[in-house]
Amino acid sequence: MNTLNVFVRSLWLKYSQELKRPRSSLMGIFFAAAPLIFLTAVLKWGEVTDVEDFAVGYFLFLYGGMSVLFFSIVMGIGLYQREV
């Protein structure tokens, strides 16, 4: 339990440090808005013939984006190359 607590604290600290950087916040906003832009574009201009396939594809799109964001923070890579 203590290991999990330390991991969550460490993750939260890295995440809050990333949010303090202006470019990181802009990238976070973009990652949050990209699925909504995609959904709006597909529903407005695309032809959705099978709603179930669309829902599965949209879920995978969201899951992929969140995975990249999560692992970049956990591994300490960040969303951009850090300045020295």
| pLDDT tens digits, 8-65 | 777 777 767 666 665 555 666 666 677 777 777 777 776 666 777 777 777 777 777 7
Q: What residue spans define the domains of the chain?
A: 2-74
- Of the candidates 40, 35, 27, the one whose C-alpha atom is nearest the C-alpha of residue 65 is 35
pLDDT of residue 84: 44
Model-wide pTM > 0.85: no
pLDDT for res 29: 64
Pick 79 or 64 by higher pLDDT: 64
Q: In terms of C-beta distances under 8 Å and separation of at least 24 residues, what long-range contacts does 73-77 make, across chains too?
A: 73/11, 73/14, 73/15, 73/18, 74/11, 74/14, 76/14
Q: Give the model's pLDDT for residue 1.
A: 61
What distance lies between CA 26 and its chain's CA centroid? 12
pLDDT of res. 58: 75
Residue 73 has pLDDT above 70, yes or no: no
Q: What is the CA radius of gyration of the chain?
A: 17
